[in-house]
Amino acid sequence: MDLLTLSQSYEEKKVSPVEIVQQVLSLIEQENPACNAYITICEEEALAAASQAEKEIMSGNKRGPLHGVPIAIKDLIFTKNNRTTMGSKVYEHFVPDFDATVVQKCKDAGAIILGKTNTHEFAYGPIGDRSYFGPSRNPYDLEKITGGSSGGSGAAVAANLAYAALGTDTGGSIRIPASACGVVGMKPTFGLVSKFGVFNLAYTLDHVGPMTKTVKDNAALLNLLAGQDEKDPYSFAKATEDYSRLIGQDIKGKVIGLPRFFFQNIEEEVRVAVEKAIAVYQSLGAEIREVEIGGIDEIAEGQRITIQAEAYAVHEKTMREHADEIDAEVRERLVLSKEVRGYEYVQVQQRRQQLIRQFNESFQNVDVLLTPTLPIVPTDIYQREVMIGHHAEGVRQALLRLTSPTNFTGNPGLSIPCGFSKGGLPIGFQLIGKHLEEAQLYQFGYGYEQAASMNQAASGNNAGK
């Protein structure tokens, strides 16, 4: 079941939270040693919370769609009295004494926290195979990467080890594993979801967002997470809204932009899968247009300078006191990050608003942008170079290439599964919207999801005949 189906089943008293949590914990015990999605399992707390949720729901006091639903939390997000390791030896035994705002919101809604999911150390990597606790492994092929840094969250949802998960995204770290693991992942508009109690990677690039099986589930979880938080200096005030309100509305006559930059140097299997997704939108009556994005190279460079400068600012003390405890590859990346000059960082921030405006000019004649989420299918764990056609590229650079620009600009991005490679590995596409237009991304995402599901059912029926 997906999240909302489970929620409905609770209302109809077909299943109970205790029963479901016991089933998922049993599955985690069986499957987690192989895929390594979780670092820490909160079994006692989960069962106690399930018992409480069961009493409340069965007595007619259902708090909302997340009540009694088992979810996972990325191990970068603080959980009171449960260790939060950042995937690092440095924080192997760190236990926060408070919950992150997003965790508190989940608890207040009655969600049941199963455990903490694996992350690339300090979230400083899009691959997901550099954690002190070992690499998270793709449920579709355990020798392949989940993508990172929220790889454990992606694997947990894909392997049915959670009904939803929270991830963080600084250069693509929700959308990359969402694509690689075949789930739905949203990076909301910067500042829409509180980051208080979330370990920093880069102050002005970090986002928190939901990872789920379906688009509707994703919107339901974002409804819970969004909102101003005085404890987060980057959080902004806005009227509350229902991000699912456009789901099911027709997209006939809407315009989808295809930015040329995002379709360069992509693997053929990815290109074919994304073109099939575009054809689905055309069948729904959407118009497709190619668009140019001004300043995209400068945006990409601005993202690089910003993440390096801010990441080193976060980790300067750790590098002085615990450098030998940090994974060699992550440490090397932090050493390189130190090389960014102060004036370079300031110059980029001075140009940033202008570059964001330039990026948003691409929406003048289109409603959303559509791109591949990743230019490649998931690579082998520990692989560091990939051939795209006749062109060699670093795996890290390839994974970040299509997702990181919108961390710099703060635009929302939604990754949706759209097929599989010949080797059975998931492929996803990304919808990018104007700031604060998450509801429209869900409208487009749901339209595709439903049409693709019907097409799949029809082709299955035809094959049966």
Distances (CA, A) of 362 to 44, 290, 406, 441: 50, 10, 13, 16
Distances (CA, A) of 126 to 90, 169, 176, 203, 301: 20, 10, 7, 17, 17
Distances (CA, A) of 300 to 149, 400, 404, 405, 407: 19, 10, 7, 6, 10
173 is catalytic: yes
149 is catalytic: yes
Could you tell me the two tokens for 40? Answer: 């820490």
- Look at phi and psi of residue 419 and say left if phi exceeds 0, alpha if psi is from -120 to 50, else beta: left
SS3 content of the chain, % helix, strand, coil (to 5): 45, 20, 40
Q: Are 122 and 134 in contact (CB under 8 A)?
A: no
Q: Are 139 and 38 in contact (CB under 8 A)?
A: no
> Do the strands 38-41 and 112-117 form a parallel or antiparallel pair, or are they unpaired?
antiparallel
d(CA 458, CA 187): 32
Place of tokens 């996972």: 72
**Strand locations in 228-374 (E):** 255-259, 287-291, 368-372
Strands of 255-259's sheet in order across: 38-41, 112-117, 70-74, 164-169, 207-212, 184-187, 413-420, 426-432, 368-372, 255-259, 287-291
Nearest to 59 by CA among 99, 94, 110: 110
74 is catalytic: yes
Among 74, 105, 195, 213, the active-site one is: 74
d(CA 304, CA 284): 38
Could you tell me the two tokens for 330? Answer: 């992550």
Nearest to 235 by CA among 205, 187, 194, 186: 194
Among 149, 153, 235, 421, the active-site one is: 149
Among 150, 173, 194, 404, the active-site one is: 173
Could you tell me the two tokens for 319? Answer: 């590098």
d(CA 211, CA 181): 11
Active-site residues: which are they? 74, 149, 173
